[in-house]
Amino acid sequence: MTDTSDLPRADATRARLLEAATAAFAEKGFNGTTTRDIATAAGMSPAALYVHHKSKEELLYLISRSGHENTLQLVRAAIASSDEPAPALRKVIHDFAVHHAHGHTSARIVNYELAALTPEHFAEIRDLRRSIEQEIRELVTRGVEAGVFDTPDPRMASVALLSLGIDIARWYRDDSRWSPEDIATRYAEMALRIVGAP
């Protein structure tokens, strides 16, 4: 649960609503969740939700935007951790996997409820997703150009690498037999094989 004690009251209420929406969307899906479900989980009346958010879709958009912005920041930081493509890719995939395992509930919503967004909100999220993919593709291309990766199609390799990490949110559970660190270590090794690193 998020600690909202240091936030101004309105911000704390918005945070509670986002947390309640995340839990409800994860349990019932976007279409199966009502505003009453969200408000009740946040300890408020359904009408109170609209004081802080325009719609249920706005909550989904805010969850999606935050998730994608955090992921883009994580990817950029991991890439910047090394000038060498192989260690940078290992770090990106490691951190991406840990991020998706620890945040599997919100990551599942962020990645699998996109169709419920308005066209404007979807376009914004699509642009963030493209930026994430571009960062990975440029790293893979840099590795190919440096002769440390051997893949004929950096774009396809990038999609495969991202899919590997994103899919963790679909199957991972807190009681999984593998820890986020176990998954991240193995996925980072697999990533280097995907790009043909020696």
Q: What is the CATH classification number for the domain harbouring 44?
A: 1.10.10.60
Q: Which residues contact 53 (CB under 8 A, 6 or more apart)?
A: 14, 17, 59, 62
Domain count, the chain: 2
The whole-number average pLDDT for the span 27-39 is 92
Please report the DSSP string for 25-53 in residue order. HHHHHHHH--HHHHHHHTTS-HHHHHHH-
pLDDT bucket at 9, cuts 50 / 70 / 90 = low
How far is residue 47 from each of residues 12, 27, 40, 103, 131, measured CA to CA in Å?
Answer: 17, 22, 11, 29, 37
pLDDT at 38: 93
pLDDT tens-digit series, residues 110-156 = 888 999 999 999 999 999 999 999 999 999 999 999 999 999 999 99
Q: Quick check: 79 and 135 in contact, CB under 8 A?
A: yes
pTM for this structure?
A: 0.88
Q: Quick one: 115 and 145 in the same domain?
A: yes
pLDDT attached to residue 187:
98
Identify the CATH number of the domain in which residue 71 sits: 1.10.357.10
